[in-house]
Amino acid sequence: MSTDRQQRQCRLLTQACAQLEELLLGGTTTASSASQRSLHALFEQAGQVGLLRLASSLRLVLEELKRLDGDPDRYSPARLCFFIDRSWLLARGILAAIEEQDQAQLARLSSASPPVPLDEVVVATCGVQRRHVPGAFSAFEFRLRLLQPLNLADGRELAVATPLLWSFVVPAVKGHGFPAEAFLGMRQKQGFSPNQLLTAQPIRIGRCALVEGQPQRLQLAPDCRIEILEQPSPDWRALLQWDPAGWLQRLREHRPDPLELPIELNQDVLLEDWAIGPFGPSTMPGRDRSERCAQLSAAGCQWQLRIDMGQSHLEQALHKGQQLSPQPALYGNVHVEFGQAVLIPLSLLGEQPEFITIGNPDFDRAALVRLINRA
């Protein structure tokens, strides 16, 4: 134990193990508001001391407990148990790595790689993944692709078409009934609104940072500036081209890790010729009331296409898209879960992306402004 930081980490990890064990032994009946506040404090402290992977896992435990309280139809006991177990394994593994001074293992378990500052990047938005958890948060993951090579300080170069991701997350505000899309119009401290990124034009993002991972993520600095460039749209299919053989090879070479999530072995795909069946309740355990799925045929394979319950606009857009001539390509993100290829749709690609995951619901904009001003 060579530093104050490691001592703080060890105290936090010990507390996290105890809290998670209490939750496992007592069951959800012990998941009181006080217990959730304790877990939330641990989640915040884990991020502050650099235990980012543990913080992410604890956040998902909290997310599921909030579903249990506020939206029981979407609650999944299997998902809660998975993330409790994962959080406990991470906490115990990090403690062991600190005690043994195993720096390689510590870095792997804590995801402690610092963000890499960037002067600017030029990107295009190819699709958006929308997640809405009533009583917890609304989140949008903007899937971006590099339009210009990016030289990093360590000598590496990221090529054109490298996938990047920017996340916009809005915590739930108690008592509001606004749709998730309403918050895309919120002006950020950097002077832009996230819905400005829903464009087919190139976007210049200045003064940001790159966080390593798969995919690599962008963080926006407080003085970040975003500019929509008056330039022609990029060659979308060149940006999004996908090699099915490479994806299969990656699956064959993969060796399971007890700490990994199915989505950690994910990849963006572009399906040029596809057919979709009728939607129905999800067949995944614990998700029949929170998700809808359909079977999709493409590239000689069967895919399970999965969307959140309540996204009727997305279902309609997909059924309409497959009937068009010429048919637009389907851009999505795929991972493997319980031996099934699961596809999350992100956009339809004709001459340019159609952001089908983003609905256009009616809401009281004046009431939203009042709510934001009070928060």
DSSP 50-63: T-HHHHHHHHHHHH
Structural domains in the chain, sorted by start:
4-110 (no CATH), 116-233 (2.40.50), 236-351 (2.40.50)
Task: Give percent above pLDDT 70 in the chain.
Answer: 91
237 versus 48: the higher-pLDDT residue is: 237
pTM: 0.80
Distance CA 207, CA 213 (A): 20
**Mean pLDDT in residue range 286-300:** 85
E strands, the chain, where? 116-133, 137-146, 150-151, 157-158, 163-171, 203-211, 216-228, 267-271, 274-276, 280-281, 291-298, 301-308, 329-337, 340-349, 353-354
Which tens digits make up the pLDDT trace of 242-269?
888 888 888 888 887 777 776 767 899 9
| pLDDT at 24 > cutoff 90 | no
Strands 163-171 and 157-158: unpaired
Q: Which amino acid is at 363?
A: F
DSSP state of 187: P
Q: Which stretch, 4-18, 153-167, 191-205, 238-252, has highest mean pLDDT?
A: 191-205
Beta carbons of 356 and 329 less than 8 angstroms apart: no
| 291 has pLDDT over 80 | yes
* Residue where the block lists tokens 């996908």: 242
Q: What would the DSSP string read from start to end of 285-348?
A: TT-TTTEEEEEEEETTEEEEEEEETT-HHHHHHHHHHHHSSSPPEEEEEEEEETTEEEEEEEEE
Q: In 3D, which of 227, 187, 188 has the Cα closest to residue 207?
A: 227
Give the Cα separation of 93 and 257 in Å (integer): 13
Of the candidates 298, 308, 301, which has an alpha carbon nearest to the alpha carbon of residue 330? Answer: 298
Task: Please state, in angstroms and as integers, the Cα–Cα distance from residue 257 to each residue in 109, 113, 285, 349, following that order.
Answer: 12, 20, 22, 35
Give me the residue label for tokens 């068009």.
Answer: 324
Encode burial over 124-153: b for 16+ CB neighbours within 10 A, e otherwise. bbbbbbbbbbbebbbbbbbbbbbbeebeee
Does the pLDDT of residue 197 top 80, yes or no?
yes
pLDDT at 1 over 50: no
* Poorest-pLDDT segment among 65-69, 128-132, 188-192, 236-240: 65-69
- The residues facing 304 across adjacent strands are 295, 342
pLDDT tens digit sequence for 331-350: 999 988 877 889 999 999 99
